[in-house]
């Protein structure tokens, strides 16, 4: 055992106390167990899909309150349990600790962050890896046309990674001007506002009348999912990247069967992508961020002190036209 390893009785955290209500709170953290490390959080990042669904009570799985929230954080190791090798005090790591000042994590689950990668960029790797599943699942080849629906963090990162993978054109679809602007800065060659015009017409025009070779949904809404066969090219792929928390009724004959389309879910990395497992994807993303190739920061529009966490969630729920990604700074959190 090395460093800080004992019981912490009052650790600052963010807690969901009721539906749509997040508060600053405190919670205990147990003593380190063998095989674990303790991490002092520097930044944590909100998952705008899974996390918000639980907070709003719209997730397929029932949500109970009070509940801890978050699963993306970056910090430095301050304690090492018995049996841990290859990790040292002071090492910066990406972990699933959530929105709290300290966390205990299994040593096998943390990922070392290169010295030249900012903690905020490192935190984005978890969401980037989800988007990368969709890009890999779409089987994108150089010159393939791609349409991404929903330009939150997952969709915007899908645009970015699709473009880096050689897709052209890359079309981003979202009603929020801020999101279209950020997607364009990260590689979208065209953006469409579904509230202002015919999206199908716009996609056909951008793709020479063919439709998108890959249509990626990052909205998680049934209305968008059911529209995708009509904008997807024959023998194309429909990628379900956003979590769909409800039943979907589709016409599987007119365009899906007759268009020879394939629909793909992206809950994890595919065996066919080996050796690019989820862990390998995260390592590659960290390396390409360090090299200046992958640029996650534009989609993190707000970085707030952890005590303003409730305001960050309010913005994500009520002011989606002003915010894309929200992170919390924990550097001044004290026990």
- Residues 11-43: pLDDT tens digits? 999 999 998 899 999 999 999 999 999 999 999
| Integer Cα distance of 52 and 35 in angstroms | 31
Is there a domain that residue 293 lies in? no
Least confident of 49-53, 72-76, 233-237, 322-326: 49-53
Tell me: do 324 and 255 sit in the same domain: no
> Which pLDDT tens digit goes with each residue over 163-191?
999 999 999 999 999 999 999 999 999 99
Using alpha carbons, select from 23, 15, 22, 10 the residue that is nearest to residue 68. 15
> Which pLDDT tens digit goes with each residue over 116-152?
999 999 999 999 999 999 999 999 999 999 999 999 9
Total number of residues shown for the chain: 335
- E-strand spans in 209-252? 212-217, 232-240
Is there a domain that residue 291 lies in? no
Tell me: do 200 and 147 sit in the same domain: yes
> Which pLDDT tens digit goes with each residue over 63-72?
788 889 999 9
- Sheet of 8-18: strand order equals 21-29, 8-18, 67-68
| Integer Cα distance of 9 and 19 in angstroms | 26
CATH code of the domain containing 41? 3.90.180.10
Is there a domain that residue 306 lies in? yes
Tell me: do 174 and 149 sit in the same domain: yes
Tell me: do 151 and 182 sit in the same domain: yes
Using alpha carbons, select from 314, 270, 300, 246 the residue that is nearest to residue 126. 300
Fill in the DSSP letter of residue 255. I
The reported pLDDT for the residue numbered 299 is: 98
What distance, in Å, lies between the first and last C-alpha atoms of the chain? 21
Is there a domain that residue 120 lies in? yes
What does residue 144 show for φ and ψ, rounded to 5 degrees? -70, 140
How many separate domains does the chain show?
2
The reported pLDDT for the residue numbered 223 is: 87
| Integer Cα distance of 228 and 205 in angstroms | 16
By the 8 A CB rule, do 269 and 153 touch? no
By the 8 A CB rule, do 127 and 160 touch? no
Tell me: do 198 and 251 sit in the same domain: yes
Is there a domain that residue 39 lies in? yes
Tell me: do 143 and 265 sit in the same domain: yes
**Cα 214–chain centre separation:** 20
Task: Return the H-helix or E-strand segment holding 272.
Answer: none
The reported pLDDT for the residue numbered 249 is: 80
Domain end position, chosen among 228, 253, 270: 270
| Integer Cα distance of 258 and 31 in angstroms | 59
Output the six-digit token pair for 264.
């793909």
Q: How confident is the model at residue 245 (pLDDT cuts 50, 70, 90)?
A: low
| Integer Cα distance of 149 and 17 in angstroms | 32
Place of tokens 């066969």: 229
The reported pLDDT for the residue numbered 256 is: 86
Predicted confidence (pLDDT) at residue 332 exceeds the cutoff of 80: yes
Tell me: do 183 and 217 sit in the same domain: yes
Using alpha carbons, select from 109, 49, 42 the residue that is nearest to residue 73. 42
Q: Which domain holds residue 51?
A: 2-124+300-329
Tell me: do 108 and 144 sit in the same domain: no
CATH code of the domain containing 223? 3.40.50.720
Is there a domain that residue 295 lies in? no
Tell me: do 195 and 261 sit in the same domain: yes
Give 113's Cβ-side CA count (13 Å radius).
25
Give 224's Cβ-side CA count (13 Å radius).
25
The reported pLDDT for the residue numbered 139 is: 93
Is there a domain that residue 292 lies in? no
Tell me: do 263 and 151 sit in the same domain: yes
Tell me: do 138 and 259 sit in the same domain: yes
Using alpha carbons, select from 161, 73, 83 the residue that is nearest to residue 124. 73
Tell me: do 67 and 103 sit in the same domain: yes
């Amino acid at each position: 055992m090395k460093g800080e390893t004992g019981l912490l009785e009052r650790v600052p955290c963010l807690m969901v106390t009721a539906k749509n209500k997040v508060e600053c709170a405190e919670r205990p953290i147990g003593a380190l167990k063998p095989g674990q490390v303790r991490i002092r959080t520097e930044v944590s990042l909100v998952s705008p899909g899974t996390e918000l669904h639980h907070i709003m009570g719209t997730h397929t799985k029932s949500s109970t309150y009070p509940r801890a929230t978050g699963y993306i954080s970056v910090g430095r190791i301050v304690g090492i349990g018995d049996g841990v090798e290859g990790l040292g005090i002071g090492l910066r790591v990406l972990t699933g600790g959530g929105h709290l000042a300290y966390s205990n994590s299994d040593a096998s689950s943390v990922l070392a962050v290169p010295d030249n990668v900012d903690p905020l960029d490192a935190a984005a790797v978890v969401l980037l890896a989800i988007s990368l599943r969709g890009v890999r699942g779409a089987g994108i080849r150089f010159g393939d046309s791609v349409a991404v629906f929903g330009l939150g963090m997952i969709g915007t990162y899908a645009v970015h990674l699709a473009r880096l993978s050689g897709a052209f054109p890359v079309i981003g679809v979202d009603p929020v001007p801020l999101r279209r602007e950020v997607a364009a800065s990260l590689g979208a060659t065209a953006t469409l506002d579904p509230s202002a015009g015919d999206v199908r017409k716009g996609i056909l025009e951008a793709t020479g009348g063919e439709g998108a070779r890959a249509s990626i949904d990052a909205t998680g809404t049934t209305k968008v999912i059911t529209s995708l066969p009509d904008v997807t090219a024959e023998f194309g792929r429909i990628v379900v990247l956003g979590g769909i928390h409800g039943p979907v009724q589709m016409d599987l004959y007119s365009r899906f069967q007759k268009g020879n389309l394939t629909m793909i879910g992206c809950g994890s990395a595919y065996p066919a992508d080996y050796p690019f497992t989820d862990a390998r994807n995260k390592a590659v993303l960290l390396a390409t961020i360090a090299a200046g190739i992958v640029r996650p920061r534009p989609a993190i529009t707000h970085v707030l002190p952890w005590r303003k966490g409730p305001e960050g969630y309010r913005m994500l729920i009520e002011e989606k036209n002003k915010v894309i990604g929200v992170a919390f700074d924990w550097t001044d959190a004290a026990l």
